[in-house]
Amino acid sequence: MMKALAFIIIYITPIHSILITVYLLLAFDLFSGVGKAIKLKEKITAAKLRLSIIKFVYYSVGIIAAYQIDKVMIAPDSLLLTKIISGYITLTEFKSLMENISILTGRDIWIAVKDQVIALFKAKIMKVEKENSDNNG
């Protein structure tokens, strides 16, 4: 049993940071989801909590399978498919986390982020326009 565990640990070492990122997002999403359920006075059931365990298992299997495909079919040192699959999973969990935080705080986080991005772009455009007018005149 210890040899099998050691083999698994050694095998997934190249993707450990990817797995840790996904697991952290899963944990954050779980805790924020529980907080959201409490705020909305929804019932927290074992069946709903079990979904987090199922996601943990499926996400792990998906990322490890992508890693194996990368090693065998793409290139031994490639993580292309692994990064694509884990990127999709990460974005999905991040979106869910942001939705939960929006409900918990009562403020739409996506709109706040959008407003900040627009403000940054406007400031950058104004700066470039000012530099261009200073250089031309």
Identify the burial level of 50 via C-beta atoms within 10 angstroms of its C-beta, where 0-12 means exposed, 13-18 middle and 19 or more buried: exposed
Task: Name the pTM for this structure.
Answer: 0.76
Q: Which residues of the chain have pLDDT under 70?
A: 136-137
Q: What is the pLDDT of residue 87?
A: 94
Residue 110: both structure tokens together: 């996506």
| 100-108 contact pairs (CB < 8 A, 24+) | 100/29, 100/32, 100/33, 100/35, 100/36, 101/32, 103/36, 103/39, 103/40, 104/32, 104/35, 104/36, 104/39
Sequence-ordered list of residues with C-beta below 8 angstroms from that of 65, at least 6 positions apart, any chain: none
Q: What is the pLDDT of residue 39?
A: 93
